Amino acid sequence: MLTKLTNWSRLKSPWILHLNTGACNACDIEVVAALTPRFDVERFGILLKATPRHADVIVCTGPATRQMKDRLVRIYEQTPDPKFVIAVGACAMSGCVYRGAYNVLGGIDQVIPVDVYVPGCPVRPDAVIDGVVKLLNKLKG
């Protein structure tokens, strides 16, 4: 009964944490744009949260830089279970143009497990929403 309730609430209102791990800002802006009136993800109950301890879903943008790696792991550990990670943008998927640079690890999945990949450079806000919805479907099934 209780698990059913938590599952239901998680599906109806996933809280996300937006984390920039070295992105060029474009993907971040598009993630924020998804919250604003044109796209308005809040109608699906998706809320942007400020701290990892409140979040269910970590939305990562950017290739993992060496400097951010430890912090990324730390933030992942701070997020309460069950947690999900969405890699937003070509950077978070594989490193994009920065692949091969000395300070870039190339893709979030080198550091933490990723559930959903959203391609694009930068992603469109609609793609971000699609990614979150796909994740929700995954939770359901």
Shortest Cβ 137–another protein spacing (Å) = 26
Contact 88, 17 (CB under 8 A): no
Q: Which of 11, 15, 33, 130 is the binder for another protein (CB under 8 A)?
A: 33
Q: Does 75 bind another protein (CB under 8 A)?
A: yes
Task: Determine if 36 is a binding residue for another protein (CB under 8 A).
Answer: yes
Q: Check residue 101 for interaction with another protein (CB under 8 A).
A: yes
Contact between 40 and 83 under an 8 Å Cβ cutoff? The reply is: no
Cβ-contact 23, 89 below 8 angstroms:
yes
Q: Which of 3, 102, 140, 141 binds another protein (CB under 8 A)?
A: 102
CB of 119 to another protein, least distance (A): 14
Whether 31 and 61 have beta carbons less than 8 Å apart is answered as yes
Q: If binding is defined by CB under 8 A, does position 127 make contact with another protein?
A: no
Out of 2, 4, 50, 140, point to the residue binding another protein (CB under 8 A): 50
94 binds, options another protein, ligand SF4, none, Cβ within 5 to 8 A by partner type: none
Give the torsion through C-alpha atoms of 71, 66, 48, 120, to 10 deg. -160
Among 11, 45, 65, 139, binds another protein (CB under 8 A): 65
CA atoms of 92 and 44, how far apart (whole Å)? 24
Minimum separation from the CB atom of position 52 to ligand SF4 (A) = 20
Residue 68 CB partners (closer than 8 Å, separation 6+) = 21, 22, 62
